[in-house]
């Protein structure tokens, strides 16, 4: 049973800590350097990896508490998206907690939490995006190291990261088999990173080339040739857990839209968005419930939640862009948010792929 008074106390604690420690302008900044500074402050304050066991530098908090923390951070202007620590502490960390060996947890989790390591995700390839199981980057075991050859694409923050978790083919054979989940150090001669210019103007993601890049055989998460099941855990976490704090961000954006709407038609559109947002809040509450008992392994919630959230945000940013025409000062900001929302239905698996997953794996419809 939820203890509302305890929840409220935690909320107040996070708010007071934010007021005392992170200036509002820094919280809302979009530059990588500022985001990193914010993450470092959050790490020092003990807010990253809140649910992780204390032996790995976490606070041993409950998922419910972690969500309250996320919610308050989002309310204070710190969004989970774009955070430099995201791949480490939101995606790889939970994967290590479930599938990592003790030594790997002891070595990597504290370094993720104190931001000594910045991670990137090496899943997508030019010929393997939606169809992730067809990755062709090879990793060959030579003595006690893996030697990697191939390329990845759309690798967010690869230019800053010192580690990458990579899905690579370790033996020929059926698509979902013979893939291995490897942790690979980025700073070595066999790795080349080339930034890609994005629609919204930045260069957040990159191409990454492996030419005889090496990593220790100790850096396999899970078993050799069983990387697919590990990647599924990572993707499920990416789709589900992160969605909750998005709700708060959407609510903030909607509030800003309402404050500059004047025409009756605008207000009707905003009312309609608010009704949809209440549905998203209900889904977020269900995800919170699922997380109370285990890591998010509910496909319907993870895929359904991602689909509903990201498509809602696109509709909202389209309407916000229309409203901003009457407030020229806001047009630039609304346009960037509109462009950024385009990416949300792509990363972590496109909307079409989420619909396929729901149809096949949840509803059992024929392929
Ligand atoms: C901002 C951003 C950041 C990203 N960061 C990372 C990262 O850090 N690491 C990483 O590994 N990847 C990252 N990605 C890549 C992302 O995961 C892929 O773009 C995504 O999985 C889609 O793959 P694709 O681009 O190859 O498109 P494709 O797979 O070529 O798909 C093209 C179109 O065809 C549709 N389609 C494909 N297959 C099917 C099907 N079976 N049924 C119906 N429709 C289908 C898709 O929905 C899409 O509309 C990022 C992407 C973006 C936009």
Mutation probe of ligand 1 site: the residue of 350, 352, 358 with most atoms within 8 A of C-beta: 350
The number of residues in the chain equals 367
Q: Using 50, 70 and 90 to split pLDDT, how confident is the model at 266?
A: confident
- Write out pLDDT tens, residues 163-188: 999 999 999 878 888 999 999 999 99
- Write out pLDDT tens, residues 300-340: 888 888 899 999 999 999 999 888 776 666 667 788 889 88
Mutation probe of ligand 1 site: the residue of 30, 86, 121, 129 with most atoms within 8 A of C-beta: 129
Q: Is 353 in the pocket of ligand 1 (CB under 6 A)?
A: yes
Q: How far apart are CA 83 and CA 176, in angstroms?
A: 30
Across the range 234-248, mean pLDDT stands at 75
End-to-end CA distance of the chain: 41
- Write out pLDDT tens, residues 120-154: 999 999 999 999 999 999 999 999 999 999 999 99
Whether pLDDT at 51 is above 80: yes
Hey, which residues are catalytic here? 238
The per-residue pLDDT for 144 is 97
């Amino acid at each position: 049973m939820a203890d509302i008074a305890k929840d409220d106390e935690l909320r107040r604690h996070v708010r007071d800590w934010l007021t005392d420690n992170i200036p509002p302008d820094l919280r809302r900044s979009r530059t990588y350097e500022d985001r990193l500074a914010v993450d470092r402050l959050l790490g020092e304050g003990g807010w990253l990896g809140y649910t992780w066991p204390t032996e790995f530098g976490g606070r041993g908090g409950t998922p419910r508490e972690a969500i309250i923390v996320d919610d308050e951070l989002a309310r204070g202007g710190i969004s989970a998206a774009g955070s430099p620590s995201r791949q480490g502490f939101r995606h790889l960390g939970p994967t290590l907690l479930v599938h990592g060996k003790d030594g790997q947890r002891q070595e990597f989790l504290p370094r993720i939490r104190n931001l000594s390591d910045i991670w990137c995700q090496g899943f997508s390839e030019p010929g393997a995006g939606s169809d992730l199981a067809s990755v062709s980057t090879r990793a060959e075991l030579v003595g006690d190291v893996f030697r990697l050859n191939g390329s990845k694409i759309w690798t967010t923050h690869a230019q800053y990261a010192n580690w990458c978790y990579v899905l690579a083919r370790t033996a020929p054979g059926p698509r979902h088999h013979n893939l291995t989940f490897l942790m690979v150090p980025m700073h070595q001669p066999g790795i080349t990173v080339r930034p890609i210019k994005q629609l919204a103007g930045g260069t957040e993601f990159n191409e990454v080339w492996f030419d005889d890049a090496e990593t220790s055989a100790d850096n396999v998460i899970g078993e050799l040739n069983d990387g697919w099941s590990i990647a599924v855990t990572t993707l499920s976490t990416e789709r589900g857990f992160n969605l909750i704090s998005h709700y708060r961000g959407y609510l903030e954006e909607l509030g800003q839209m309402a404050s500059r709407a004047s025409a009756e038609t605008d207000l009707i559109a905003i009312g309609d968005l608010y009704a949809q947002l209440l549905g998203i809040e209900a889904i977020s509450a269900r995800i919170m419930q699922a997380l109370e008992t285990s890591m998010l392994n509910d496909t319907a919630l993870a895929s359904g939640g991602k689909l509903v959230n990201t498509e809602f945000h696109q509709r909202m940013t389209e309407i916000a862009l229309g409203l901003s025409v009457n407030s020229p000062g806001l047009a630039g900001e609304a346009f960037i948010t509109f462009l950024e929302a385009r990416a949300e239905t792509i990363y972590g698996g496109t909307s079409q792929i989420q619909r396929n997953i729901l149809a096949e794996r949840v509803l059992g419809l024929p392929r």
